[in-house]
């Protein structure tokens, strides 16, 4: 696991909080989507050298820290097989309950394959509701069929 990226992610969270920034504001300054920007700052994506330089200037980082932002990460940031953070656990629970349903429906619509997490987009927005605001997430991944030999 890349401890440098993890430590740097914690540092960026601290700077973000100290400055009162939102991920949307940071993303706009770096020229990327908020979800991707957040993942990159937390060490789960690699920035181009140009984006890393922008991030370094924004966050007041060293050249060495900018280089860490541009390194390919060790993906998968959860410390345990079953997450214990309540919010993250709910996503695990969604997979446990709906994973086979999503798999079946994707296979029915597209055939035998997977949805890419590499060629992938995601948006998150607040959806007002009289019973309490809702979280609306939209995920879009390229379909990759399995090869048949």
Residue 73 vs residues 23, 45, 70, 107, 137: alpha-carbon distances, Å = 20, 6, 9, 30, 24
Instruction: Please tell me which residue in 50, 64, 104, 116 is annotated as part of the active site.
Output: 116
Q: Which residues contact 95 (CB under 8 A, 6 or more apart)?
A: none
Instruction: Please tell me which residue in 90, 104, 134, 140 is annotated as part of the active site.
Output: 90
Locus of tokens 């997977």 = 114
Instruction: Please tell me which residue in 64, 93, 104, 140 is annotated as part of the active site.
Output: 93
| Farthest-apart Cα atoms in the chain, separation | 55
Long-range contact set of residues 63-67: C-beta below 8 Å, sequence gap at least 24: 65/8, 65/11
Does the annotation mark 93 as catalytic? yes
Catalytic positions, please?
90, 93, 116
């Amino acid at each position: 696991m890349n401890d440098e990226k993890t430590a740097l992610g914690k540092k960026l969270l601290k700077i973000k909080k100290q400055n009162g920034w939102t991920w949307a504001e940071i993303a706009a300054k770096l020229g990327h989507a908020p979800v991707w920007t957040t993942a990159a700052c937390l060490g789960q994506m690699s920035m181009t050298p140009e984006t890393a330089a922008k991030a370094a200037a924004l966050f007041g980082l060293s050249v060495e820290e900018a280089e860490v932002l541009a390194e390919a990460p060790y993906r998968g940031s959860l410390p345990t097989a079953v997450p214990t953070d309540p919010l993250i656990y709910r996503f695990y629970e969604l997979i446990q309950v709906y994973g086979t349903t999503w798999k079946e429906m994707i296979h029915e619509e597209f055939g035998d394959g997977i949805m890419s997490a590499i060629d992938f987009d995601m948006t998150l927005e607040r959806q007002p509701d009289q019973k309490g605001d809702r979280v609306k997430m939209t995920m879009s991944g390229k379909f990759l069929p399995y090869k048949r030999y």
